Amino acid sequence: MTLTGKEARFPWLFFAIAFGWAWAFWVPVALRDSGVVELPNQIEKLVAGGSFAAWGPLIGAIIAALASGGAGGVKDLLKSMVRVRFAAIWYLVALALIPAILGGSQLIASFAGEEIPASEAFANPISIPFAFVWIFFLGGPLQEEAGWRGTSTHILQEKWGALVASLATGFIWGLWHLPLFFMEREEIYYNQPIWGLMISTMLLSALLTWVYNNTGRSLFAMMLMHSSWNWANYLFTSLQTDTGGLAFFGLMILTVVLIVVLAGPERLSRKSD
């Protein structure tokens, strides 16, 4: 599908809402945790945990779809979120590729003599399937993918091609998380330099677009693959080691380069829409 008219504009409205909504919750907490301000009790209760913040991209995507395509635009967006009919191989890719990369980086780190931190998941294996379901609905994929892939990448790849649009979306996606680096959080992503997350989101965005374009632009596939990324970081602790982190970036870059060579940077797919 080629976008025309309002849909072909740069997705400023989506970005403004995605950032504005999320940062309205995150920035006060970041300022509090950095010792800059003290929050009144009512604001403290409202922003505590930042659980409402992550819905910014979905809200932005729906409003942008309504502004550009009316009720039909919103309907198309929601239909993509439940588009489950695509080739079985892409289910395998969406669910297994990123865990394989993270697991491989952990093996490399282990062979290199790194001491691998214990995995909470494997210490409590019954939690593993439940963790995936929780991540899917409340850990980011449902809240974000209609925005980053369904709006930003969807529009920008018609202007710039799939690879450039993926890297641009990945950069902005990483930047969206900036306030979390100034908050007291346990996740490994936010206790490392921000450039690590930015590179990760750019490379991950290219892999996601590859699957997106090969599944009839299914946002359901994107939510599965995004879940597999967060879930894999629950299973494997390789990013908590220097060697594991370097191996992860190396394997991700190798995978993206291979996809670009085989599928082409313009579409990241040999299929037509």
Q: Which of 12, 17, 82 is nearest to 53 (CA)?
A: 17
Q: What's residue 10's pLDDT? A: 81
Q: What's residue 189's pLDDT? A: 76
pLDDT more than 90, % of the chain = 80
pLDDT digits (tens, 9 = 90+) for 89-139: 999 999 999 999 999 999 999 999 999 999 999 999 999 999 999 999 999
Q: What's residue 42's pLDDT? A: 59
Question: Helices (DSSP H) in the chain: which residue ranges?
Answer: 12-33, 41-47, 56-81, 88-111, 120-123, 127-138, 141-147, 154-160, 162-176, 194-214, 219-235, 242-263
pLDDT digits (tens, 9 = 90+) for 154-194: 999 999 999 999 999 999 999 999 999 998 877 777 778 88
pLDDT digits (tens, 9 = 90+) for 18-46: 999 999 999 988 898 888 888 776 566 56
Domain ranges of the chain: 5-263
Structure tokens at 63: 């409003």
Write the DSSP assignment of 141-171 as a string of letters. Answer: HHHHHHHIIIIIIHHHHHHH-HHHHHHHHHH
b/e map of 178-190 (b: 16 or more CB within 10 Å)? Answer: bbbebbeeeebbb
Residues in contact with 67: Cβ distance below 8 Å, sequence separation at least 6, in sequence order? 6, 13, 73
Kindly tell me if the per-residue pLDDT of 13 is higher than 90: yes
Kindly tell me if the per-residue pLDDT of 257 is higher than 70: yes
* pLDDT-wise least confident of 216-220, 257-261, 268-272: 268-272
Band of residue 150 on the pLDDT scale cut at 50, 70, 90: very high
